[in-house]
Structure 1
Amino acid sequence: MGLSNINLNLNVRGLPVSATLDINEKSNKLLAEGKQIYKFGLGQSPFPVPQVVVNELRNNAHQKDYLPVRGYQPLREAIANYLNNAHNLTFSGDDIIVGPGSKELMFIIQLVYYGDLLIPTPSWVSYAPQAEIIGRHVYWLKTSEDNKWLLTAEELDKFCSSDATKPRILILNYPNNPTGLTYTKDELKSIAEVARKYGIIVLSDEIYGETHHDGNHYSIAKYYPEGTIISTGLSKWCGAGGWRLGTFAFPKNLRWLLDAMAVVASETFTSTSAPIQYAAVRAFQGGIEIERYLWNSRRILKAIGSYMHEKFISTGISVDKPEGAFYMFPSFKNFADKLKSRSILNSSQMCSQILEDTGVAILPGSAFGRPSEEYTARLAYVDFDGAKAIASVEVLAKDKELDIEFLEKNCEKVIIATERLCDWFKSL
């Protein structure tokens, strides 16, 4: 066994299964046992893939040839045009690489770029484990609940000032998993200035960009185009998580990094599924059907987020109203004394007890890089029939607010789960 194999075994040994996938498997097991479970653990879009995209997949099911490692050229052009139109950027198809999910591409970029990984906490559960598998150093950047768990330019500058020349990748995810919150233009501009000062590569994870509840997503690439790689895909805004298609868009001066990733891709996944790539062209081309789908899904997610926020605040649970995606990251600090009196001493124990007592499956803040004793958790409010909800909202006027009656008819399990959570904390 070579030294590299020994190091890899040491890096992997002891790593747990991804927390989001683990909670989904546990929830399914409990459901199979006949228990009533409310699945707020796995962040899977509840909405169906738009029909026009499904039709395109059906029409291309016969496609069987290996496509280019970097991706089907018409798809790469469609992705570049989509990003350019959305953010007034200047990508071409040659700046794009397509992979079997953005998760795979994130792993490969850390493999080919020798640098430290900077992650604001809380963050998505797989960023840090990927770095640990590869053997990269991970540094958690401080955020605070008072600042909506967002990274500040000041904190980034403070961290980097100790060694201004060190190579680093900053992963910036917004709208954010696990908080559902996002950055303003001014906040992105300030972070961009610091990133430029230290030559940081920003991996801008914008997989939830199109799920911004008001459709007002901005990219840091607009303010730091020379150092930003945009990550997106089909899983969240197009409801196609299981299709496994992710994309990276590189500035031209980082073409060498794209080339290095393509070499590794050629020796690992070879190419992304051909029928999926053909269908994805239609998704990224947009059009009235896609815009209507996005408009309606955003309305539903915004209504749910607003309802849950109001219920939690009235219960004494501290949380910001989500601005995008389908997540909330509440703090239960106001119940700390009562939790401790029941020998619930950390967020993991709290979530386990909640699942046992209420059937609501949520993930502890410790899974997202927060201190275990903090009593935080992530809720993915996706346990409803997205196809039914979209069909119901289609017949409503565009300016009609989605009220509690709509939510009770179309998102019943979310309403019940929210009430059970609130009642559980009230009963402590």
Structure 2
Amino acid sequence: MYRKVEQSQTLFINTQTQKMVDQNREVFRFGFGQSPFMPPQDVQSALGNATVHKEYSSVQGDPELREHIARFHFQHNGLRTRAEDVLVAPGSKILIFSLLMAVEKADVLIPAPAWVSYGPQAQLAGHHVITLPTSWEKRWRITADALQKAVTSKKCPDSILILNYPGNPDGLTYSREELMELAHVARTHGMMVISDEIYGLLDHKNTHLSFAAFYPERTITTTGLSKWCGAGGWRLGAALLSEGLEPELKEALLGIGSETYSCAPVPVQMAAKVAYQDYATIKSYIHWQTRILKAIGHYCCEKLVNAGIKVHPPEGGFYLFLDFSEFQDQLKKRGIATSTAMCSALLDEKGVVLLPSQAFGFEPSFPGARLAYVDFDEPPSDLPFDMKAHAPKISGGIRALVDWVRDL
């Protein structure tokens, strides 16, 4: 017998979308969250110059790169981590899985909506998953009360909270007060927190706060090059361990890494040294991206809200989480009873690719979907961003989505 492990919905939808494009169908790619921005030119050049590096690095990663990462995140938002507590791997995704594998048995607390891989990874690691409910009214944020309630009903001695902000699939973040309240509950129960801050550098106001600043005792911050540096396929992630964590955790992570991925690709590590060399030199590149992403996100949000779709304005990253609850009666009259069926109808009728809310931890009947607003080519850095000129596929896709809703 084999394990039943479904393919990641985000990767699956990207493959299916490409098939439609190959068939010459008009498709609006809102399903896959891949940054359209290219890495800075000096980072690209560094990767090209590093092809001579065919050796393995240590499992933990190049020492100089770890120094750069620790200093970079301190410069960015004051996150304090020693280089010896930084782990580098081929993507933050494998680091999160390694963290879950390093713990023998735990309750893994996952807010809904949440990134599609948290739940499957926790289940593969043999943990008990507890879904934390959220609501439109609470901006899809978990509250301290909800976290407290979940912890009191746990089944295992250990508990792990996975926090992701700015969030995938919602594009929203947490305030200082919200983080402080969540940290208080985490501290009270001594839980481990995996704070997935892969979109932290794409906070639209450039005011991202790391959870480890409020709960340094047992927080692991995960990040990487894929989002802010536009280098998803390069596969370079990092985990920043707080000093209060047990040394045994780091030992377990290095052991797991040594038996699985061995090390991150060394040429990519060499290029990452340039990317992480100094936050001050990369700051304008990041702010250029966030200015464009904020403009696109708010354009999409305004159009969708005017059409009656419930959606909160984005605060980071490049996602919107759409709530079609106001159209539930019309959807039922058309025989559409699940978010998957809704997204299939949108794809078939309008060529609009969305990812159904079921993939993010909701019941199948909840009519929600994620929209990734990255279907555009990287614009010149010295021009103001214009939707029609630089993002015609996004404006066309939003128009098609709005027309579909109005015809329900």
Task: Give the share of equivalent positions with the same residue, in percent.
Answer: 44
Query: Of 123, 132, 143, which aligns to 1:141?
Result: 132
Gaps of 5+ in 1: 1-5, 397-401
Q: Do residues 347 (structure 1) and 339 (structure 2) align? A: yes
Contact 1:23-1:42 at 8 Å conserved across structures: yes
Counterparts of 2:166 and 2:181, CA distance in 1: 17
Q: Encode CA deviations 1:67-103: one digit per residue, 9 max, x unaligned.
A: 0110000011111112222232431110011111011
Paired residues for 1:12-411 under 5 Å: 12-13=3-4, 15-114=5-104, 115-162=106-153, 166-254=157-245, 255-287=247-279, 289-386=281-378, 389=379, 391=380, 393-396=381-384, 402=385, 406-411=386-391
3-state SS in 2 of match to 1:215: coil
Contact 1:205-1:232 at 8 Å conserved across structures: yes
Using the TM superposition, give the Cα deviation of residue 287 of structure 1 relative to its aligned residue in structure 2, in angstroms. Answer: 4.8
Counterparts of 1:326 and 1:120, CA distance in 2: 19
Letter in 2 for 1:324: G
Using the TM superposition, give the Cα deviation of residue 395 of structure 1 relative to its aligned residue in structure 2, in angstroms. Answer: 3.6
**Cα RMSD over matched residues?**
1.4
Count matched residues. Answer: 406
How does the TM-score come out when normalised to structure 1? 0.92
Distance 1:351 1:65, change over 3 A: same
Counterparts of 2:15 and 2:251, CA distance in 1: 37
Counterparts of 1:156 and 1:70, CA distance in 2: 32
3-state SS in 1 of match to 2:34: coil
Counterparts of 2:150 and 2:142, CA distance in 1: 12
Using the TM superposition, give the Cα deviation of residue 39 of structure 1 relative to its aligned residue in structure 2, in angstroms. Answer: 1.0
Letter in 1 for 2:350: T
Corresponding residue number in structure 2 for 1:3: none
Contact 1:164-1:198 at 8 Å conserved across structures: no
Gaps of 5+ in 2: none
Q: Encode CA deviations 1:134-166: one digit per residue, 9 max, x unaligned.
A: 221111011111111001111101111245982
Using the TM superposition, give the Cα deviation of residue 194 of structure 1 relative to its aligned residue in structure 2, in angstroms. Answer: 0.4
Corresponding residue number in structure 2 for 1:399: none
Counterparts of 2:100 and 2:353, CA distance in 1: 32
Counterparts of 1:287 and 1:369, CA distance in 2: 35
3-state SS in 2 of match to 1:394: coil
With 75-84 and 342-351 compared, the bigger mean Cα shift is at 75-84
3-state SS in 1 of match to 2:193: strand
Structure having the higher helix fraction is 1
Contact 1:296-1:394 at 8 Å conserved across structures: no
Counterparts of 1:258 and 1:363, CA distance in 2: 35
Contact 1:96-1:249 at 8 Å conserved across structures: yes
Counterparts of 1:163 and 1:289, CA distance in 2: 46
Using the TM superposition, give the Cα deviation of residue 227 of structure 1 relative to its aligned residue in structure 2, in angstroms. Answer: 1.2
Q: Encode CA deviations 1:237-260: one digit per residue, 9 max, x unaligned.
A: 100000001110111232321111
Letter in 1 for 2:265: S
Counterparts of 2:346 and 2:352, CA distance in 1: 6
Moved over 6 A (4+): none
Using the TM superposition, give the Cα deviation of residue 295 of structure 1 relative to its aligned residue in structure 2, in angstroms. Answer: 1.0
